[in-house]
Amino acid sequence: MKYSSIPAAQAVVMHCKHSGIRHIVISPGSRNAPLVLGFTNDPFFECYSVVDERSAAFFALGMAQQLKEPVAAICTSGSALLNYYPAVAEAFYSDIPLVLISADRPSYKIDRGDGQTIRQDRVFDRHIAYSAHLRQDVTHATSTIATLAPQMLEQDKDLESIQEVVGQYNYAELQRALQTALQQSSPVHINVPFEEPLYGLSADISVENPVYPTEAPSQRAIGIEKFSRVWRESGRKMILVGVNPPGQIEQELLDRLAEDSTVLIFTETTSNLHHTNSFPSIDSIIAPIEKSADPNQDFEALKPEILLTFGGLIVSKKIKAFLREFKPQFHWHVHPIKAYDTFFSLTHHVKSDPNTFLEQLLQDYDDVPGSYRDSWLPRKSYVRRMRSRYLKQIPFSDFKAFSHLMNSIPAGYMVQLANSSTVRYAQLFDMSPANPVFCNRGTSGIDGSTSTAVGAALHYDNPTLLISGDLSFLYDINGLWNNYLRPDLRIVVVNNGGGGIFRILPGKEESPEFEQYFETPQKQSLGSICATYGLEYCEAIDEESLVRELSDFYNPSRTPKLLDIRTPRTLNDKILLGYFEFLSSNKS
């Protein structure tokens, strides 16, 4: 087997191998050649070539999301690295272990006018769990170092002694970075400076073999007694779950909570939790209260004494606004590492995984009779009844398209949701437990949705469906620019001709620049894009054609398929806002 002749490149490859990081997403370049040669020459690694670094990082994020293990992305020096930043921020807030490995120019060439030299060490420090900036080897390109940076070659030490110190430092930095990614499930950055020549190979290893442990640390004791006492004494307990991987919470624990009449469980489509007593469409519950005769009285009745949260970030703005005004007495967030004070009322960060906490909380707990849950359950039935009535009386629109779409998804399909309007519409409809749902809610950006879905699909046993808006899809066209599109990938673009979400935000009528600079109408041909990237193209322009296209959209095919659903740009906002008005004005 061949290795790069540069010790730092050997060390990076060997430490990744020792840490079990098998999947490597490579973007082309010259400065990263030592890393590329090292990873691609070792059969332990599965390497992927994705040209666009922004797409490559999201592609790696999608893989890590499904594999539940670190995935590495490698790029060359300069601006290439900066294109990783959107995915780095997403991984940071979504607890996804990306390992970003960048090649760098020698420090003595930075800010000297050389091409592709930027200050890239620790460039992600505000959104990264650990930044490792390795030291440059002195046994490689020694004559160049002696000419350009003689201070690196200490006069009173021989070359081997200097290199030994460099190697020890790099060993420690690699260990810290990779163990952080593994233990904290968070992104890390490893920056590696290389001097030319870059393409040399060797049959020998010149660095120390890693032997550090990689197991996760043991859990801390929770001290459950103080939580159990408060839990037993409370008659109004609300559980609110944000982004949550499927299967994360044991169904038996969810069932016990849902059967407790003092507990309300609010979930979102991205929570991947399902129970007949849970409340999956939060905005549809809260919107009628906002317009009721006495909203304060209803909100006081909904206000919990205990708010228990776990999972990632919350989509619903309405539940955030409600809980920020009607604060619970106790807010416990359960997460092994971090807790956000989303509702400005956090009283305890429980550093545990949710299953462990819930098991201990419910041990020896007998349900206390109460009316908190049962007084709200009729609201859920009311919403479903009213939604059905509303759909029968509205014209073709985003709202009606989502109704057909959500009912059409075959069991077993993984659903990847883009952000903005897409994830919000999805909250208004019921999702089958047979369809795991994912969405990049860490930063809630529209960038990277396609790339994430393509990467995730590679490591999901069944087919994948990406649901996207037109701007989100166009923003990440390069997500299709790779050789890893599975033929069972399905993409639905709800195409309302622009940024439709801006039409439902306050103030758009007062802004004459709204259409051009906020909504940004576009006339790109999705059919032409599909022809470029080898996707089968389908189009729906009304309810009849949508039903017809969905009837065989999921059938097996030799290439991926894209369904372009064209909806009325200037009508969608009125129909969506009208839905909440309809829920508020119809009480029968």
Strand partners of residue 494:
469, 565
SS3 at position 559: coil
Q: How far apart are CA 295 and CA 290, in angstroms?
A: 6
Q: How far apart are CA 319 and CA 307, in angstroms?
A: 12
Domain span at residue 98? 3-202
Report yes or no on 386 lying in a domain: no
Which residue type is seen at 382? Y
Question: Around Cβ 304, how many Cβ atoms within 10 Å?
Answer: 25
Which residue type is seen at 97? P
Report yes or no on 387 lying in a domain: no
Q: How far apart are CA 424 and CA 327, in angstroms?
A: 24
Report yes or no on 219 lying in a domain: no
Q: How many domains does the chain have?
A: 3
Residues 141 and 36 in one domain: yes
Mean pLDDT split into 10-residue runs, the chain, 588 residues: 94 97 97 97 98 98 98 97 98 97 97 91 96 98 95 87 96 98 96 97 92 69 90 96 95 95 96 95 93 92 97 95 98 95 97 95 87 93 95 96 97 96 95 97 95 98 97 96 98 82 57 61 87 97 98 97 93 92 77
Which residue type is seen at 529? I
Report yes or no on 384 lying in a domain: no
Residues 288 and 184 in one domain: no
pLDDT tens, residue by residue, 108-166: 999 998 888 999 999 999 999 999 999 999 999 999 999 999 999 977 789 999 999 99
What pLDDT score was predicted for residue 13? 98
Residues 548 and 440 in one domain: yes
Residues 421 and 302 in one domain: no
Residues 457 and 538 in one domain: yes
What pLDDT score was predicted for residue 213? 78
Residues 53 and 78 in one domain: yes
SS3 at position 471: helix
What pLDDT score was predicted for residue 348? 97
CB-based contact 494:549 (threshold 8 Å): no
| Domain C-terminal end among 354, 378, 402 | 378
423-426: long-range pairs with CB below 8 Å, 24+: 423/269, 423/270, 423/315, 424/283, 424/315, 424/501, 425/398, 425/399, 425/494, 425/576, 426/269, 426/402, 426/467
Residues 305 and 167 in one domain: no
Residues 554 and 419 in one domain: yes
pLDDT tens, residue by residue, 449-468: 999 999 999 999 999 999 99
Report yes or no on 262 lying in a domain: yes
Residues 368 and 414 in one domain: no
| Domain C-terminal end among 202, 236, 258 | 202
pTM of full prediction above 0.85:
yes
Residues 49 and 194 in one domain: yes
Phi, psi of 150 (to 5 degrees): -60, -20
Report yes or no on 218 lying in a domain: no
Residues 175 and 45 in one domain: yes
Report yes or no on 272 lying in a domain: yes
| Domain C-terminal end among 378, 407, 424 | 378
Which residue type is seen at 558? R
Residues 495 and 577 in one domain: yes
Q: Please list the alpha-helical segments (H only) found in 468-554.
A: 470-475, 514, 526-533, 543-553
Residue 167: closest CA among 221, 207, 198, 140: 207
Residue 179: both structure tokens together: 């163990």
Which residue type is seen at 182? L
Phi, psi of 351 (to 5 degrees): -85, 80
Q: Sign of torsion, CA 124 62 559 396?
A: negative
Cα-based distances in Å from 441 to 52, 201, 423, 468: 22, 42, 9, 14
CB-based contact 88:115 (threshold 8 Å): no
What mean pLDDT, rounded, does the chain reach? 93
What pLDDT score was predicted for residue 502? 56
Strand partners of residue 47:
24
What pLDDT score was predicted for residue 509? 57
DSSP state of 289: H
Which residue type is seen at 123? V
Phi, psi of 334 (to 5 degrees): -105, 115
CB-based contact 491:464 (threshold 8 Å): no
Phi, psi of 99 (to 5 degrees): -115, 105
Q: How far apart are CA 332 and CA 405, in angstroms?
A: 36
CATH number, residue 237? 3.40.50.1220
CATH number, residue 50? 3.40.50.970
